[in-house]
Amino acid sequence: MDLGPHSAFILGAYGFTALVILGLVAHAVLDQRAQERALGRLAKEPLERDAARGAR
């Protein structure tokens, strides 16, 4: 495969794009885990939250 005189730029652009996509996927996975933990904490204590607000 001959990419011509611009092969370094082309391969660098593909490499950079791959890193950005991997970073976005990693961020989404880590954020999903954090949101699931937060939701789990909220699901465990619904009555305590309601009592603190004065709800019955």
* DSSP letter string, 9-46: HHHHHHHHHHHHHHHHHHHHHHHHHHHHHHHHHHHH-H
Q: Which domain holds residue 37?
A: 6-54
- Rounded to 5°, the CA angle 45-51-31 comes to 35
Residue 50: predicted pLDDT: 63
Residue pair 16/8 in contact (Cβ under 8 Å)? The answer is no
pLDDT bin (cut points 50, 70, 90) of residue 1 is confident
Task: Identify whether 33 is part of a domain.
Answer: yes
Please give the model's pTM, rounded to 2 decimal places.
0.68
pLDDT on residue 45: 79
* Number of compact structural domains in the chain: 1
* Assigned domain for 1 exists: no
Residue 47: inside a domain: yes
Q: What is residue 54's DSSP assignment?
A: T
Q: What confidence tens digit (pLDDT) does each residue in 9-38 have?
A: 999 999 999 999 999 999 999 999 999 999
* Contact call for residues 17 and 25 (beta carbons, < 8 A): no
The residue that leads in pLDDT, 56 or 6, is 6
